[in-house]
C-alpha cells in the first residue's frame, strides 16, 4: 500500500521514538537491577574474561598496526616541516584521545558485541530464557546485568591496551626503523600528553563507548526473533547501530572535551 | 530449599479458563484440578493447546477468561515477587530440554540449587549426582551439553526439573525422543517422585501407553475444548469417537488429518496458479 511522504515520515518518526523509548527503558531496567552484579562479582568476572580476554589478540594486533601506520604517516608529514621529533607526541595524542577508544570500540562491536547478541538470541531460541523465568530466576539479573558490567569494565582496559601497543608500534617504526632519537620520542610524549585532558578524557570516551556497544548488543539479542534469521539480523544490527553510535558519540564527546 | 510440606489445597486448578493469543482462542472453558501426589496426563493432538496450558500454569501467559490457581493462589493476581515464590514451588521440563549450553551437565542440574539455596559445595554435589543417578546419567556429569545426545539432554533436563524436589512438576512431552528403555524408566521415575514427595505431576503428552500406565487422571483436549476426562481405565472403555480415534490412532474419525482449506489458502493458491500461467 503506497502512503504519502508525510504519513511515511510520521510513521518513521514515531517508530524511531518508540524504539528509543524501549531502548532507554531497557537500559533503566538493567541499571535498576545492577545490584546483582555487586552481590555476585564472579558472574561479572566471568564476563570480563569472556568479553575482554578473548578480544585481547585482535585488539593488540590492530593496535600494533595502527601504531605502525600512524608513525609512518606522521613522519612523512612532520618531516616536511622539520618537526619529526614531535612524532612521539603525535602518535600518543592520536591514540589516547581518538584512535584508542574509537577503533577499540569498533573492534569490540565486531568481536564481543556480535557474540553477545548471538548468545542472547540463541538462548531465547533454545527456550533457555523461558526456562530461567519458570525457575524463578530473573534472566535480566542473571544473564544481562553481568554482561553489561563485564563490557563496561573490559572496554576501557582494552582501549588502554590498544593505545599502549599502538605507542609501541609507533616507537618501533619511528625509533627503530626511521631512526628518530628515542629520548626525543619519549620526552616529547611525556611533556605533551596531559593526564587529565588527554588520558582521562580518552578513558571517559572508552567507558561511554563500552556502555553503548554492550547495551546495543544486549538489546538487539533480547529483542531478536527466536529464529536463525532473527538472530542473524539482530547480529548485523548490533554492528551497524553500535558502530554508528560510537562514531556519532565520538564527535559529540570530542566537541565537548577538546573544544574551547 | 522450598519446603515439601503439603496441604489439602490443590496444586493446580483451572477454573473455566480460556487461553489464546491475541484474538485467537486455542482452548476455551477448561476446568481441571491437580491434587498433591496425583499424576495427571493432559493429552491431545499436535496444536491442540497442551503447551499453551503449561504456559498458563507457569504464569508465562494470562488466561483470556477464567482463573488459573497454583497452590490456591490466582496466578494472574500475583505480584512479580509472588509469582517468583510460586515458581520456586514448581519444576518444569521443557519440550526441547532448554539446557544452558554454556554450562556442563552437572552445572545445569546444579543451577536451581545455586540460585535458590545456600548449600555447601559438598551437599550440592551430592544432591546433583543423586538426581543424575536417578536419570541414569551420573557418569555424564562432566560432559558438555554439546557432547550428549538429544535423549540424554532431556534426561538431564528432567534431573534439573526435579532437583529442588518441587511440589508441582510440569512435564512437556517427557517421553519424546527417548528410547524404549529410557521411556519406561522416565515414566517410573515420574510416578515414584509423585509418590515419594507427594508432589503433583502434570504430563503434557500424546504418548498413550506410557502415560496411561502411570496417570491417575487423564484429560483429553482437542477441537478447542476439553473432550474427555477420567481415569485411564475410564477413557479406555469410552466409546466417544474422538477418544477412540485418539487412543487407537485411527486416520478416520472426528479429527481430520488434513489441515482445512481456508479463504486465505484459496486466495494464495489462485495467485500461485495465476503466476504460473
A134, A141, A221: which to substitute to probe chain B, counting the most B Cβ within 10 Å? A134
Nearest-Cα residue of chain A relative to residue B166: A135
Query: Residue B8: what pLDDT?
Result: 56
Helix (H) / strand (E) element for B128: namely helix B121-134
Q: How many CB atoms lie within 10 A of CB B250?
A: 12
Cα→Cα distances B177→A108, A255, B97, Å? 41, 61, 11
Model confidence at A142: pLDDT above 50: yes
Q: What are phi and psi of A99, to 5 degrees?
A: -65, -40
Closest CA to B115 of B177, B164, B183: B164
So what's the pLDDT on residue B6? 42
User: Looking at residue B3, what is its pLDDT?
Assistant: 38
A237/A209 Cα distance (integer angstroms): 16
- ipTM score: 0.81
Q: Which pLDDT tens digit goes with each residue over B41-95? A: 999 888 888 889 999 999 999 999 999 999 999 999 999 899 999 999 999 998 8
CA distance B64 to chain A (A): 20
| pLDDT interval class at B259 (50, 70, 90) | confident
- B203 — pLDDT class (breaks 50, 70, 90): very high
pLDDT recorded at residue B276? 57
Tell me the average pLDDT across A165-173. Answer: 96
Contact residues, chain B, for A133 at CB < 8 Å = 58, 60, 87
Report pLDDT for A84. 86
In the predicted structure, residue B2 carries a pLDDT above the cut 60:
no
Q: How many CB atoms lie within 10 A of CB B144?
A: 11
* Cα atoms found within 13 Å of the Cα of residue B79, Cβ hemisphere only: 2
> pLDDT over 90 for what percent of chain A?
85
pLDDT value for B253:
73
Q: Is residue B108 over pLDDT 80? A: yes
Interface membership of B112 toward A (CB under 8 Å):
yes
Residue B254 has pLDDT above 80, yes or no: no
Full DSSP string of chain A: ----HHHHHHHHHHHHHHHHHHHHHHHHHHHHTTHHHHH-HHHHHHHIIIIIGGGHHHHHHHHHHHHHHHHHHHHHHHHHTT-GGGHHHHHHHIIIIIIHHHHHHHHHIIIIIHHHHHHHHHHHHTTHHHHHHHTT--HIIIIIHHHHHHHHHHHHHHHHHHHHHHHHHHHIIIIIII---HHHHHHHHHHH--IIIIIIHHHHHHHHHHHHHHHHHHHHHHHS-SSHHHHHHHHHHHHHHHHHHHHHHHHHHHHHHH--
Residue B33, Cβ density class (10 Å: 0-12 exposed, 13-18 middle, ≥19 buried):
middle
Mean of the per-residue pLDDT values of chain A: 93
Q: What pTM was computed for the model?
A: 0.85
Give the per-residue pLDDT at A1: 52
A137 inside 8 A of chain B by CB: yes
Q: At what angle do helices B150-162 and B180-197 cross, to 10 degrees?
A: 0
Q: Is the pLDDT of residue B201 over 60?
A: yes
Q: What confidence tier does A116 reach under pLDDT thresholds 50, 70, 90?
A: very high
> What's the whole-number mean pLDDT along residues A117-132?
93
Amino acid at each position: 500500500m503506497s502512503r504519502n511522504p508525510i504519513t511515511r515520515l510520521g510513521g518513521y518518526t514515531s517508530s524511531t521514538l518508540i524504539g528509543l523509548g524501549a531502548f532507554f527503558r531497557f537500559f533503566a531496567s538493567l541499571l535498576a537491577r545492577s545490584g546483582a552484579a555487586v552481590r555476585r562479582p564472579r558472574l561479572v568476572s566471568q564476563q570480563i574474561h569472556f568479553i575482554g580476554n578473548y578480544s585481547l589478540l585482535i585488539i593488540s594486533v590492530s593496535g600494533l598496526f595502527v601504531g605502525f601506520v600512524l608513525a609512518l604517516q606522521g613522519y612523512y608529514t612532520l618531516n616536511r616541516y622539520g618537526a619529526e621529533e614531535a612524532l612521539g607526541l603525535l602518535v600518543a595524542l592520536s591514540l589516547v584521545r581518538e584512535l584508542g577508544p574509537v577503533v577499540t570500540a569498533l573492534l569490540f562491536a565486531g568481536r564481543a558485541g556480535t557474540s553477545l547478541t548471538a548468545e542472547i538470541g540463541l538462548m531465547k531460541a533454545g527456550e533457555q530464557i523461558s526456562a530461567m523465568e519458570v525457575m524463578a530466576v530473573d534472566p535480566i539479573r542473571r544473564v544481562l546485568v553481568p554482561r553489561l558490567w563485564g563490557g563496561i569494565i573490559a572496554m576501557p582496559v582494552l582501549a588502554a591496551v590498544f593505545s599502549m601497543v599502538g605507542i609501541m608500534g609507533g616507537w618501533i617504526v619511528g625509533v627503530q626503523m626511521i631512526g628518530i632519537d628515542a629520548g626525543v620520542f619519549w620526552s616529547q610524549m611525556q611533556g605533551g600528553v596531559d593526564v587529565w585532558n588527554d588520558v582521562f578524557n580518552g578513558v571517559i570516551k572508552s567507558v561511554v563507548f563500552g556502555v553503548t556497544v554492550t547495551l546495543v548488543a544486549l538489546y538487539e539479542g533480547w529483542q531478536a526473533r527466536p529464529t536463525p534469521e532473527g538472530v542473524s539480523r539482530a547480529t548485523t544490527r548490533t554492528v551497524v547501530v553500535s558502530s554508528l553510535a560510537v562514531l556519532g558519540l565520538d564527535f559529540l564527546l570530542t566537541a565537548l572535551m577538546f573544544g574551547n | 530449599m522450598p519446603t515439601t510440606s503439603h496441604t489439602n489445597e490443590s496444586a493446580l486448578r483451572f477454573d473455566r479458563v480460556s487461553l489464546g493469543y491475541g484474538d485467537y482462542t486455542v482452548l476455551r472453558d477448561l476446568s481441571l484440578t491437580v491434587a498433591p501426589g496425583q499424576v495427571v496426563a493432559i493429552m491431545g493432538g499436535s496444536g491442540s493447546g497442551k503447551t499453551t496450558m503449561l504456559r498458563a500454569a507457569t504464569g508465562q501467559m494470562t488466561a483470556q477468561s477464567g482463573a488459573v490457581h497454583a497452590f490456591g493462589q490466582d496466578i494472574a493476581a500475583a505480584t512479580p515477587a509472588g509469582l517468583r515464590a510460586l515458581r520456586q514451588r514448581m519444576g518444569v521440563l521443557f519440550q526441547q530440554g532448554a539446557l544452558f549450553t554454556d554450562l556442563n551437565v552437572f552445572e545445569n542440574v546444579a543451577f536451581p540449587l545455586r540460585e535458590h539455596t545456600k548449600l555447601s559445595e559438598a551437599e550440592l554435589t551430592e544432591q546433583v549426582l543423586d538426581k543424575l543417578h536417578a536419570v541414569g546419567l551420573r557418569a555424564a556429569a562432566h560432559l558438555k551439553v554439546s557432547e550428549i545426545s538429544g535423549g540424554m539432554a532431556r534426561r538431564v533436563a528432567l534431573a534439573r526439573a526435579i532437583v529442588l524436589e518441587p511440589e508441582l512438576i510440569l512435564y512437556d512431552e517427557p517421553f519424546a525422543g527417548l528410547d524404549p528403555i529410557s521411556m519406561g524408566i522416565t515414566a517410573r521415575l515420574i510416578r515414584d517422585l509423585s509418590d515419594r514427595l507427594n508432589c503433583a505431576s502434570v504430563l503434557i503428552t500424546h504418548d498413550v501407553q506410557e502415560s496411561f500406565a502411570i496417570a491417575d487422571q487423564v484429560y483429553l483436549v482437542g477441537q478447542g475444548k476439553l473432550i474427555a476426562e477420567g481415569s485411564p481405565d475410564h477413557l479406555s472403555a469410552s466409546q466417544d469417537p474422538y477418544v477412540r480415534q485418539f487412543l487407537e490412532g485411527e486416520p478416520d474419525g472426528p479429527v481430520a488429518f488434513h489441515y482445512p482449506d481456508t479463504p486465505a489458502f484459496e486466495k494464495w493458491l489462485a495467485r500461485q496458479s495465476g503466476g504460473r500461467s
